Structures are given as structure tokens and as C-alpha cells.
Amino acid sequence: MREIILKHTLDNDFLKKWQKFWDNSDNGHVFNSVVWFTTYRAVYEIKEFRIVIIEEDNKLILILPLVRESLYGVPVWCSPGGKFLDKSSLLVDKFDPTILRKLGNYLPTLGNIYLQELESEPINLLIKANKTYFKIDCSKSPYLPISADPLRFLSNKNHSQIRGILKKNKEAVSYKTFTGDIKALQKAFMLDKIGTKSGQGKATFGLKKDREFIKQLIIKMPQAVQIDFVYYNKIPVIYATGFIYKKTYQAFTTAFNGKYRFLRPGKLLTFFKIQKLQDEKFTLLDFSRGISALKHEFTELERVQYSLFCAKNIIIRWWWKLCNYVFYMVLENKILYGTYLAFKRLNF
């Protein structure tokens, strides 16, 4: 017998069950883990949360953690993670249509719902359950299976360019990976502050709570967080953070010093990282959401991810659609987006 349970509190017994369920699930990743939820809740001082559970014969088969936040001025129950959420917080044993239909029928009873970064299979099953749902494409997530030839998508031109840079700067360029290292994280923060993204108003760790969030993730799961650097004459020119789990490397954040653009630092770091993952018998490199020329130089594969919206009030649904339309119009227009970033840099 299947039963839906709604939790308003946390206890050690449940957290242990959640961890065990995550360990045994093929669909477990950092963003639907116990540590991700509890850390996000603590650092960002989330007061209200709900955890939707489905059990079958007293055995966990689904967990969906939700936090109370605001979407375009409307209170919603949404996935924990904010701007850092790269994959859905839904943890399910398998994408069984009857399980997801049960969840889809239940969620509207909680109020307004906003679930981010769902893959096509679960969202298509959820959306059939209730007419108050709608979805939009929210991101594309490139990925690379680590095979015997992990550089198979890299063109001869790009491969030759990387080899040429390394040959020309053989004594100057080096690469190193740190695992669970707070001191390395502090160096990453410094690079993030002076990086090209910061100059554009897009620094990843500009806010104190954002820095504390990744720091606490390292403290709570040190073996799962890696920080990579490429150095030029022992000076760090680029960093990248990422998560490792179940033979998968999940890219997370990155920034580089624009003065060393001539090194093609993004290409070098990705080139080094792919070879390291192959040596360590990893099976997948997930580049995380967002497409770029750099990612497509190393892979042609990508998955589309979606946002799911639910509101009984038709005015709210139309408001969300309008806001999403304006948001993506600004995001895709260089002039409008550049103006937005200029105002952001001025702290308007």
C-alpha cells in the first residue's frame, strides 16, 4: 500500500532513512541529498519547509523537500538551492508513472508550487496529473560520458591549440585538484572576486551567505567537493568547484583572471579534468546547466531541464507566464541584459 506523508519537522531517524534511500537510488545526486537540504536551510535561515514522502509498505520510494520562498512576488513551495540548484531536488526510486501521478495529484493541495530543473520524464508525468500545472524550458545541461576516448568530441583544431599552449608554456603551466580543502576554497573566493564574471556583475560568491553555503558543504561532505586550479608561474588563473558522487563529476562554479585569457584557461582546466576523471575511473562528467561554446567544444550531448509551475489562481499563472517571458527576453537580448548588469554593478 502506498501512502503520502507530509513532514514539517526533521528528526535523526528520518535523516538516516533519507541518506540510506539516497545511497541506494540510481537517481541520487548532490542536489537531492540530505546534506544539500539541511545546509541550505541552515545557511539561508529557511523557517518554513515541507518534505513530501511516499512510502510503499513502510519503505521509502519518494522524497521531495520543499522550502517556502517567493516567485515574482508570489509565495511558493519550491526546491531548495536557489541560484545554485543545478538538478531537481526530487529523489525517487524509479520514474514510475503511478508514483509520480500520485505526487502530481497531491502537490496542488499544498498551495502554489515551483519545481526547478526537472528532466523531461518526471515533469511530463507530473503535468498530466492536474490542469493547474504548466512548464517552461529553464536550462540545457551538457554532459560527457567518460569512455575510452573522452576527448572524442574535441576537434583537431582545438586539440592542437591546447597542445600548442601547453608546449609553449611547459614550465609555467600546472594543474592541481584539492578535495575538501577550505584553504583552497578561500583562494577560489579571491579568484572569483577578481574574475571576469565579477567585472560583469556576475560574481558567484559576491554575497557572504553564498560563500558560507559552499564552505559548509565542504565541511559536511569533504570527500564530495573538489576544487581545481590551473596555475601560471604558480599564480592561480582559473578555479572550478565540483561535486563527486557515484562515479559522476558534477561541475558547479568557475571563474578566471582575464589577464591570462591568452592561455585559454577554461579549455586547459577542462582538458586536465577530463583526463583526471578518466584515470580515476569516473563514468560521467556533468557540465551543469547552461550552454557555452567551451562546453560544446568538449561534448555534443545535452539534456533539457524544465521548471514546473502550479497555481489554482489563473491570474497567478498568467502573471508567472508574463514574468518568465520578460525574464527570458532580457536574458537573451545583449543590450537589455548588459543594461541590467550595469545597474547591478551599481547596486541599484
Name the residue ranges covered by the structural domains of the chain: 2-140+304-312, 147-282
Query: Quick check: do 2-140+304-312 and 147-282 share a fold?
Result: yes
C-alpha to C-alpha distance for 306 and 121, rounded to whole angstroms:
10
The kind and range of the H/E element at 56 are strand 49-56
Q: How does residue 340 score in pLDDT terms, banded at 50, 70 and 90?
A: very low
126: pLDDT strictly greater than 80: yes
DSSP result, 161-202: HHHHHHHHTTTTEEEEEEES-HHHHHHHHHHHHHSHHHHTT-
Nearest C-alpha neighbor of 78 from the set 93, 64, 94, 97:
64
Tell me if 66 sits within 8 A of 116, measured CB to CB.
no
C-alpha to C-alpha distance for 204 and 241, rounded to whole angstroms:
11
Return the CATH superfamily for domain 2-140+304-312: Gcn5-related N-acetyltransferase (GNAT) (3.40.630.30)
Nearest C-alpha neighbor of 223 from the set 206, 209, 243:
243
C-alpha cell at 276: 583526471
Q: How does residue 325 score in pLDDT terms, banded at 50, 70 and 90?
A: confident
Q: What is the mean pLDDT of residues 307-312?
A: 95
Percentage with pLDDT > 70 across the chain: 92
Which residue in this structure is represented by grid cell 585559454? 264
Nearest C-alpha neighbor of 212 from the set 89, 36, 33, 40:
40
pTM value is: 0.91
pLDDT at 342: 47
Beta strands of 146-291 (E only): which ranges? 173-179, 225-232, 235-245, 248-256, 284-286
- 162-167's contacts with Cβ under 8 Å and 24+ in sequence apart are 162/264, 162/267, 162/268, 162/271, 165/263, 165/264, 165/268, 166/268
- Give, in degrees to the nearest 5, the angle at Cα 79 between 77 and 83: 120
Q: How does residue 222 score in pLDDT terms, banded at 50, 70 and 90?
A: very high
- Reported as a single tens digit per residue, the pLDDT across 172-196 is 999 999 999 999 999 999 999 887 6
3-state secondary structure of 328: helix
Return the CATH superfamily for domain 147-282: Gcn5-related N-acetyltransferase (GNAT) (3.40.630.30)
Tell me if 220 sits within 8 A of 35, measured CB to CB.
yes
Q: How does residue 298 score in pLDDT terms, banded at 50, 70 and 90?
A: very high
255: pLDDT strictly greater than 70: yes
